[in-house]
Amino acid sequence: MDHPGSTRYDSATRQFEQATARTGAGTRGVVGSVAIVSAVFGAVPPVSLSWLAPMLALHAVWTALYARVWWRKEPLHPWLVAGDVAIAVALCLSQRHLVAPEALVTGSSWVHGMATMTIIVAGAAWRPGIAVPAGLAVAGAFAAGVRIASPAQDVFGTLGIHLVQLLAIVMLMTLLRRSAAETDAFLEQSVRAEISLMVERLRREDELKQVGSIHETALHTLTMVGLGTYDAPSPTLSAQVRTDLAALEKLRDSPRADAAPIALDALLEEVAGRATGLEVRRDLTPETVPGNVAERFARAVTEALANVARHAGVHEAELVSRRRDGEILVEVADAGRGFDQDRLPPDRFGVRGSILDMMRSLPNGGAEISSGADGTRVSLWWRP
């Protein structure tokens, strides 16, 4: 079956945070490396080597950690940014021991560059409630360090520049995060709408099969009567007419769309086929469930397969459905790297909202996730 579309979508927020982390870490690594070279070549009296050496060593370690984040495409850990802010404050307050007077007067010191970079990285990594105080601390420490080194030096111009930088990065990141969240909401609605259309299409196909079957049976009965096959009352004819009439009444009294029966195995087969980037092995037992139940299963399986593609580090998954003690059980399993549910990051809402909470809110439904070194298994169930 051809699947031109895909019910799998990636989180815009996750992609944005990942791009921000890698860009911020890469820029911080480059600026930090340049600062080390500048500090070494600018180490002329009265710069104190006893102060400069340990400060540069600590700064170099943190620069290497940022380079590691960039290389491994890791998130910007809060402790890494917090340590960077602390180091920047220490560097700023120690400028009289680390920066030559000429560089201090012209505002071209390597410490100045690091203070600016730290403000930007903190604004990119943290929400305004934390980024603003951290940026103010760095800006204030830089101004204080300049005054300590040179009491006559004007610091208000530089302080104003740092405040503008802080305000700009905080406003920019707020707008971008809001846009990413709105994009995620739109994408999730699109996925839900697509699954709803799949459910409706399968329901219509099932109705057409029923109508076709009933039409052929009733038409056959009427044809036999019209041809004179039965020229006298017949128990066989009476039984067939009662059967046809019951089928027509059942079709007339069919349930509303959201409760109409759906072939769950056919729906899951289609969902698995649309999971791009994964080879999904299927073992699906034919089952018919109400449309609203089928839609819940489909959405949960969609999210589970998307999580495998995004986070498990493998390209294969297994989708199984079967009966278990009167329940309909659907499982998605992979052999990739597991995760700790208690330490899920905020952007992993799909595990809680689109899998666990959604299935558990279904009457007689439930969900469970087991994850470890051997992989992850998502179990979904519903009792008719």
For 62-115, the pLDDT digits (tens) are: 999 999 999 988 888 899 999 999 999 999 999 999 998 888 877 789 999 999
Q: List beta partners, residue 261.
A: 290
Q: Are the C-beta atoms of 68 and 74 separated by less than 8 Å? A: yes
Q: Is the dihedral of CA 218, 220, 225, 230 positive or negative?
A: negative
Query: What percent of the chain has a predicted confidence (pLDDT) above 90?
Result: 36
Q: How confident is the model at residue 199 (pLDDT cuts 50, 70, 90)?
A: low
pLDDT for residue 57: 95
What's the N-to-C CA distance of the chain in angstroms?
A: 29
Task: Give the range with max mean pLDDT: 33-42, 98-107, 294-303.
Answer: 33-42
Q: What does the alpha-carbon distance between residue 198 and residue 206 come to, in Å, rounded to a whole number?
A: 12
Tell me how far CA of residue 346 lies from CA of 24, 51, 301, in angstroms.
20, 41, 20
Does pLDDT of 243 surpass 80?
A: no
| Strand ranges across the sheet with 365-372 | 279-284, 316-324, 327-334, 375-382, 365-372
**Sign of the C-alpha dihedral computed for residues 275, 278, 279 and 282 taken in this order:** negative
Taking all residues of the chain, what is their mean pLDDT, rounded to a whole number?
80
pLDDT of residue 81: 95
Please calculate the CA angle 18-23-26 and round it to the nearest 5 degrees.
120
CA distance 379 to 318: 12
- DSSP secondary structure string for all residues of 204-271: HHHHHHHHHHHHHHHHHHHHHHHTTS-SS--HHHHHHHHHHHHHHHHHHTPPPGGGSEEEHHHHHHHH
pLDDT at 39 over 60: yes
- Which residues are within 8 A (CB) of 318 and not within 5 positions of it... i.e. 6 or more apart? 280, 281, 282, 283, 331, 332, 333, 334
User: Are 107 and 145 within 8 A, CB to CB?
Assistant: no
DSSP of 101-150: HHHHHHT--HHHHHHHHHHHHHHHHS-HHHHHHHHHHHHHHHHHHHHHH-
Residue labelled with tokens 């666990």: 356
Q: What is the pLDDT of residue 104?
A: 80
160-183 tens-digit pLDDT? 999 999 999 999 999 999 988 888
Packing angle of the helix pair 12-41, 110-125 (nearest 10 deg): 170
The per-residue pLDDT for range 276-287, each reduced to its tens digit, is 778 889 998 888
Tell me the one-letter amino acid at 206. D
Can you tell me the distance from the alpha carbon of 86 to that of 93, in angstroms, rounded to the nearest whole number?
11
pLDDT in tens, 113-138: 999 999 999 999 999 999 999 999 99
Predicted pLDDT of residue 103: 85
Which pTM was predicted? 0.61
Instruction: Name which residue leads in pLDDT, 354 or 126.
Output: 126
| pLDDT given at position 315 | 87
- What is the per-residue pLDDT across 308-340, written as a single tens digit (0 to 9) for each? 887 788 888 999 999 988 899 999 999 888 776
Beta bridge partners, 376, equal 334, 371
- Residue 58 has a pLDDT of 95
Confidence of residue 5 (pLDDT cuts 50, 70, 90): very low
pLDDT reported for residue 340 = 64
Over 80: is that where the pLDDT of 252 sits? no
Least confident of 138-142, 329-333, 347-351: 347-351
Q: Which of 334, 319, 321, 315 is nearest to 276 (CA)?
A: 315
Instruction: Give dist(CA 88, CA 166) in Å, integer.
Output: 15
Q: What is the pLDDT of residue 150?
A: 87
Confidence of residue 3 (pLDDT cuts 50, 70, 90): very low
pLDDT score recorded for residue 299: 82
Least confident of 33-42, 194-203, 209-218, 256-265: 209-218
Where do the domains of the chain lie, and which CATH numbers do they carry? 9-254 (no CATH), 256-384 (3.30.565.10)
The pLDDT assigned to 2 comes to 36
